[in-house]
Amino acid sequence: LRMSLMCKSSLGNAVVDEFPILRQEVHDGKALLYLDSAATSQKPIAVTEAFRKAAQEVTSFPDDADIKEEIETARANVASLLNASPRDIVFTRGATEALNLVARGWGDANISEGDEIILTVMEHHSNLVPWQSLAERNRAVLKFVPLSKDQAFNMEAFKSLLNPGKTKIVAVNHVSNVLGCVNPVKEISELAHAAGALVSVDACQSVPHMPVDVKELGADFISASGHKMLGPTGIGFLWGRSELLNAMEPLNAGGAAMSRVSINPASTFHDAPAPWRFEAERLPYAEIMALSEACKYLQSRNMSQVHEYEMELGHYLWDSLSEIPGISLYGPSPSSSAGRDRGALVAFNCKGIHSNDLAFFLDQEGVAIRSGHHCTQPLHRALGVAGSARASLYLYNTREDIDKFCTILRKTLKMFSDMGFGVEETSPCPLVSTSDPTLRDPGIDRPCTDLWPKVDAEAEGVKENN
């Protein structure tokens, strides 16, 4: 490991005091160990203070000139993080709305019967369902890029799916929220454009963690959410090429999205130019101010340094988990070409133990991880499991956090083993998982590790009736 990680003056140690929530105690005085930033990140004091000030101290309505100017300054701060033009940044309620805006605003006008849309099996539902809905409405064809042998983006399969003249758009995540692999968006964009297709990127797991330059990536649309990048919930953004945004239909009509409305001599209306044509509602001022501060904070920390630090942490997390017997890890190994720059997250399963059960008992020790399908049900089916546990890191985490996590994880697995679940500590299992028959779909049948108390349905019914 590099000196930047070994040194006590690491990035995580340098910034942790700016995140007071990380110093709290839970469950009878246990220190919180937060390893769930891929779901929602924590917020530094500067961001929460910006939100508080906007919510409590600003009394003017959003048509006030000063507030409008602050919103445009915030737009510029988001754009600066992406090396983009502010005029190409649309504020949305989150990445899900941004992705739906592309599927509706661009897709409905440009996708016809028989046209083809390429996605991957690793997509988050927010970058899958909008395209499924579009394909259903317009009778388009969906094609899916499978995983490579090392559980990453399968470039050869992608090339075989491209169909010049028929492929209209490729929708892909930049970093998988389960596999951790960084997908080659620049190469994907070059190949897609050569085939006459556009590229829409779900950048929720990349914008918070690494430099993202829209000019360098070459994609046509990029979406991200505020709450994964030190900002609040309820705010996100869409970046799109100017010519595409101005040709798209907005999801909502009215309000500030109109440049002129008249009823005489005929009822007419004209959309405002992008990005304002997509922002019909009164914008969430406090959320935008907090997102703006989050972007400034990230830039102040140098995104290249953040990315390097997180890669080192992520590799250490992978290596530490791989030493624990009975654990299967998902995604490409850091030692592989597909995994050397992987994100700072690891999804895993412990043989014979449901991820929800594992997460529950880790929570009792103060450890916050994520369990379930992580809004990627098709991916987990491709992996042969119903769900997984996931530990994810951010710039405020440290190597010591990983050591503590693995110590508690070993203790928890020992508890399961003592009760007859899981595996005894023999030799480590392979890093690349195989299908585990004990991890059945909980929607169909709970696995054998069902530790929840049984409920007498009739007795429960009597209790409710009383």
Query: Residue 98 burial by CB count (10 A; 0-12/13-18/19+): exposed, middle or buried?
Result: buried
Residue type, 20: P
Pairwise CA distance, residues 39 & 418, whole Å: 32
Peptide bond into 453 cis (omega under 30): no
Both tokens assigned to 263: 């009823």
448 is a catalytic site residue: no
Q: Choose the catalytic residue: 181, 295, 350, 375.
A: 375
Q: Collapsing DSSP states into helix, strand and coil, what is residue 322?
A: helix
Question: CB of 195 within 8 A of CB of 56?
Answer: no
Which residues lie below 8 Å from residue 139, measured CB to CB, with a gap of 6+?
Answer: 113, 114
C-alpha distance from residue 266 to each of 271, 273, 382 (Å): 16, 22, 56
Both tokens assigned to 460: 């429960």
Tally Cβ neighbours within 10 Å of residue 233: 14
Task: Give me the DSSP letters along 298-313.
Answer: HHHT-HHHHHHHHHHH
Q: Which stretch of DSSP H or E encloses residue 230?
A: none
Question: CB of 144 within 8 A of CB of 119?
Answer: yes
DSSP state of 357: H
Q: C-alpha angle with apex 442: 436 to 445, nearest 5 degrees?
A: 90
Question: CB of 421 within 8 A of CB of 407?
Answer: no
Catalytic residues: 375
